[in-house]
Amino acid sequence: MLRQRLKRDPATPRISPTHRVLAMQLQIGDQYSDETGDWEVIGRPHTLKAGKIAYARVRLIARPTVTTFREWDAHELVAVRRTG
């Protein structure tokens, strides 16, 4: 059986559903939510403590001037939304 490909309208933005990625696989532009709000990754992740802890710089989507570093266990899965 042949499968038909769905045609996507190029005018609509391409927003993928939620993905679960390792903390070291975060990319600039990834968005995630936690109990403090919706955040966007603005810096590449890096590790400390022999690769056990992953850090990334993030900003609050509602208030772009609020930036901070977030940390995850390197083996932890993070649910993110990817655009593009």
Query: How many Cβ atoms sit within 10 Å of the Cβ of residue 30?
Result: 22
Its pTM stands at: 0.74
- Read off the pLDDT band of 82 (50, 70, 90): confident
Instruction: Give residue-wise pLDDT tens across range 21-53.
Output: 998 899 999 999 988 899 999 999 999 888 899
Instruction: State the architecture of 17-83 in CATH terms.
Output: Roll (2.30)
Beta bridge partners of 57: 69
Please return the burial class of 58, using the count of CB atoms within 10 Å of its CB with bins 0-12, 13-18 and 19+. Answer: buried
